[in-house]
Amino acid sequence: MDRARAARVMDALAELYPEARPELNFSNPYETLIATILSAQCTDKRVNMVTARLFPLYPDARAMAQLEPEQLEPLIKECGLYHNKAKNIIAACRALVEKYDGQVPSTRAELMALPGVGQKTAGVVLMAAFGDPQIPVDTHVFRLSRRIGLADADTPEKVEQQLRALLDERIWIYGHHLLIWHGRRVCHAQKPDCAHCPLDGELCGHYEYK
């Protein structure tokens, strides 16, 4: 897909979702990091329920770093994969305390050096906590980018590279949210609701679903 058609795709989605925004609740970089780690293979709604109870108890990296994984696990069990998430969250918070005086760093390399933080999580933190132009590729962005024709790579990392080359940097953040909102509300994984999709055959590579 060329840049002009990609811009038209984003315009169509923006018209459908003018209010597109993050659906995870957080108020600072620490909360952004923890909520994003918890969101792996879990709905934002479920994460928000958990963090509403968790953050008042452990409001910063220093407080969280005092825990052992078995103490955190019951508090985040509803998010799934709680053994690994608890281990990574505590290890990441201990690293924040030891290396960054309890603060979340604002570079991709430093974030990805933290336990449990990969490219997608680092991108979300940079974007949501620091306003850095990013277009993180989660499951929705990966699926829709390939289905619509914005990208054709076979890994999230490569899809992110293609999106960066295709889309104007000024819409990366908004475009990330647009694709997620569309994936959750219309362009579902198993059965896309093409009857309610504003993208026609010229803009969507899978128009045959209509």
As annotated, the active-site residues are 120, 138
CA 106 from centroid of its chain's CA atoms: 16
Residues 6+ positions from 180 with CB-CB distance below 8 Å: 20, 23, 138, 140, 141
> 28 Cβ partners below 8 Å, 6+ apart?
129
What is the amino acid identity at position 31?
Answer: E
Provide CB contacts within 8 A for 160, sequence distance 6+: 119, 123, 135, 136, 137
Cβ partners under 8 Å of residue 77, min gap 6: none
From the CA atom positions of the chain, what is the Rg in Å? 18
